[in-house]
Structure 1
Amino acid sequence: MSTESGGEQILLVDDNPTNLQVLFKTLEGSGYRLLAARDGEAALYTAKRAKPSLILLDVMMPGMDGFEVCEKLKADPETADIVVIFLSALTDSQSKVHGLAIGGVDYIAKPFQSDEVLARVRTHIKLHRLEKALARRNSELEDENQRILNAVEEAIFGLDVEGRITSMNLRAAQLTGWPQADVLGESLFQLELFPGDTNLNEALLMLCEAGVGLRKNNVALSNREGLHIPVDLSGAPRSGGGAVLVLRDISEWLANQRELELAREAMDQQRQHMAHIERLSTGGEMAAGIAHEVNQPLTAVSNYAKVAERLISDLPSEKSAKLKDVLEKITIQAQRASAVIQRMRSYVKKPSGAKTEITLQELLKDVISLAEVDSRVNGIRVTLKPNETPLWVYVDEVQIQQVALNLIRNAMESTAKADSIIPVAVTLFGEGNLYGFEVSDRGAGLDPKVEEQLFSPFVSSKEGGMGIGLSVSQSIMQGHGGDIRYRPHPEGGAIFRCELPAFSPTEGVENA
Structure 2
Amino acid sequence: MTIDASKKSIILVIDDSPTNLEVLSHFLDESGFEVWSDLNGEKALQRLKIAQPDLILLDVVMPGKDGFEICRRLKENPLTHDIPVIFMTSLADTTDKVKGLKLGAVDYITKPFQAEEVLVRIELHLRLRNLTKALATKNEQLKVEIKERQAVEATLRELQQDLEQRVEARTAELKEAQVWLVQSEKIASLGQLVAGIAHEVNNPVNFIVGNLGHIDRYFEDLIALLNLYQKYLPEPPNEVIDKIEEIELKELLSDLPKVLNSMHIGASRILDLSSSLRNFSRLDDAGKKNVNIHEGIESTLLILGHRLKARPDYPAIQVIREYDDLPLVECYPGQLNQVFMNLIANAIDALEDKIHSQNIDDKYANYQPTIHIKTKVIKRQVLIHIIDNAAGISEEFQQQVFAPFFTTKPPGKGTGLGLSISQKIVVINHSGQLTCSSVIGQGTEFVIKIPI
- RCO (CA 8 Å, sep 6+): is it higher in 1 or 2? 2
In terms of fraction of residues, the more strand-rich structure is 1
What TM-score, normalized to structure 1? 0.44
Q: Greater Rg, structure 1 or structure 2? A: 1
In terms of fraction of residues, the more helix-rich structure is 2
